[in-house]
Amino acid sequence: MISEGMKALVAGSSVIRAMFEEGKKMAAQYGAENVYDFSLGNPSTPPPVAVKEAIKQVLDEENPNLVHGYMNNSGYEDVRDLIAKSLNKRFDTAFETKNIVMTVGAAGGLNVILKTIINPGDEVMTFAPFFGEYKNYVSNYGAKLVPVPPTRADFQPDAAEFEKYVTPLTKAVIINTPNNPTGVVYTEESIKAVAAVLSRKEAEYGHSIFIISDEPYRELVYGNVEVPYLTKYYKNTVVGYSYSKSLSLPGERIGYLVIPSEVDDFEDMIAAAGVATRILGFVNAPSLIQRAVAKCLDEKTDINVYDENRKLLYNALTEYGFECVKPDGAFYLWVKALEEDDKAFVAKAKELHLLLVPGSSFGGPGYVRIAYCVSKDMIERSLPAFKKLADMYR
């Protein structure tokens, strides 16, 4: 009795559940310490201590009806104001309270902005490989996801290739940098080239095309790499942010959208985003945690932990002969499978108790994603298995 649309999704999700169940079985059979699960993008570092203190402070000092009550569907005004100011300080932008809409994580924010702008039949583009959920989010509103295949060895967006896929039906482009699954941070040059194509196409077609910048990994960058703030490169840019990774709060479902004043039809856009938040059933981002994160805007989880994992795994894998794109951000490695069929390669890896995700789940066949948001200890224990895997293909 489930809907037609859900049938395929349920079948797909059963496959993932089956994988997950098998991982648990393997742990029971071989001992948890002998199974190396690199499949999940679940933060492994704890939230900063400041988060706990902030929650308690809100509980102790503020009016409980305010702390746990309804507010404007777009969030508490004081919280939105603090976030706008924090962004302005960091990125030299000029956002105000009205530009911020608090959301139920980045996933909630993406759904809100898609509901706001999409007409059934529209196309929404993204760059492959991409976070597989985009397809579902876009389909929720009757639009079609159009992935641009990767052409560059460094997995930067290729503006010339991109242009070939833009059509009069293109309503938006989802850009995800630092990228899941590649770990690549898009350069300013890449962003500018994509923005130039879009500006030209907006003029040609006579309607707006939005960039939706999905930024849950913004704070997870290593070395001196800069992540360009996309509103500065293209007028019709909406940013979706989440505290899931930066504060290790993925279960709390807290993030925000930035809808800059310069986007076309700003007043309608911001009103519609508020209405979309309400009617999609979010109503508002969870209240207590809104107030708590506002006290933690300068905090972030200890990313040195991820950085050590990144170096350890990247150096080992490349030493064993794996080809891996240089990972500047997020907590993923994007590694070329040692045979054409990434699913067959993942099956071989599993024989060595290595749980990886096939690239085809991200629209990137021939690769695998390795999530290194795990314990350093597990990585160390897993290395002989990776070496053996490489040796199997020699």
Subset of 34-93 contacting a copy of itself (CB under 8 A): 42-44, 46-47, 51-52, 55-56, 59, 64-65, 67-71
Cβ proximity to a copy of itself: between 88 and 119 the closer is 119
Q: Which of residues 203-222 bind a copy of itself (CB under 8 A)?
A: 207-208, 210
Q: Which of 100, 104, 194, 303 contacts a copy of itself by CB under 8 A? A: 104
Q: Which of residues 126-165 bind a copy of itself (CB under 8 A)?
A: 133, 136-137, 140-141
Cβ proximity to a copy of itself: between 51 and 227 the closer is 51
Count of residues touching a copy of itself (by CB under 8 A):
80
Cβ proximity to a copy of itself: between 97 and 136 the closer is 136
Q: Which of 87, 185, 227, 289 contacts a copy of itself by CB under 8 A? A: 289
Q: Which of 274, 358, 359, 363 contacts a copy of itself by CB under 8 A? A: 274
Tell me: does residue 168 bind a copy of itself (CB under 8 A): no
Cβ proximity to a copy of itself: between 45 and 93 the closer is 45
Given the rule CB under 8 A, which of 84-92, 145-153, 154-162, 245-253 is the region that contacts a copy of itself? Answer: 245-253
Q: Which of 14, 151, 167, 315 contacts a copy of itself by CB under 8 A? A: 14
Cβ proximity to a copy of itself: between 176 and 248 the closer is 248
Q: How many CB atoms lie within 10 A of CB 294?
A: 20
Q: 3-class secondary structure for the chain?
A: CCCHHHHHHHHHHHHHHHHHHHHHHHHHHHCHHHCEECCCCCCCCCCCHHHHHHHHHHHHHCCHHHHCCCCCCCCCHHHHHHHHHHHHHHHCCCCCHHHEEEECHHHHHHHHHHHHHCCCCCEEEEECCCCCHHHHHHHCCCCEEEEECCCCCCCCCCHHHHHHHCCCCEEEEEECCCCCCCCCCCCHHHHHHHHHHHHHHHHHHCCCCEEEEECCCCCCECCCCCCCCHHHCCCCEEEEEECCCCCCCHHHCCEEEECCCCCCCHHHHHHHHHHHHHHCCCCCCCHHHHHHHCCCCCCCCCHHHHHHHHHHHHHHHHHCCCCECCCCECCEEEEECCCCCHHHHHHHHHHCCEECEEHHHHCCCCEEEEECCCCHHHHHHHHHHHHHHHHHCC
Closest separation in Å from C-beta 179 to a copy of itself: 20
Cβ proximity to a copy of itself: between 289 and 379 the closer is 289
Q: What x-and-dash track marks residues 330-369 binding a copy of itself by CB under 8 A?
A: ----------------------------------------
Tell me: does residue 99 bind a copy of itself (CB under 8 A): no
Residue type, 221: V
Cβ proximity to a copy of itself: between 15 and 225 the closer is 15
Tell me: does residue 107 bind a copy of itself (CB under 8 A): yes
